[in-house]
Amino acid sequence: MSSYVGIVLISHSPKIAEGLKDLIRQVMTDVPIETAGGTDDGEIGTSIEKITGAIAEADKGEGVLLFYDIGSAKMNAEMAIEMNETEQALLVEGPLVEGAYVAAVESGMGKTLQEVHDAVKKAF
């Protein structure tokens, strides 16, 4: 079985993160996708712990791209990447829905972390 670049979906809303994962799963079933939506108690917000855990779960050896929605999600994603102490996790500056969708398709084609990142950046 091939290993793919993983994707972490970070949103202030657990419903948005899970809904986006469902949307992507309609076309890409093998790419590792984890969500980090909402706070630890299920409220609106973000959680560094959830993001850190999602990075670890999504990374199957090929690295992880992180997509976020607004505000503190970016800051918490940056802190989670630092806490994971990996160079195999990249934060993507781009649209959450469309960017994550493009990344999943590119990852599913077996591209490297940098190639998937660059494809998303080129698309947007």
Alpha helices in the chain (DSSP H): 14-25, 48-58, 72-84, 96-108, 113-123
H/E run at residue 6: strand 6-11
Tokens of 50: 């959830």
CB atoms within 10 A of CB 2: 8
Rounded to 5°, angle at Cα 35 from 81 and 5: 65
Task: Kindly list the catalytic residues.
Answer: 12
User: Which amino acid is present at 52?
Assistant: T
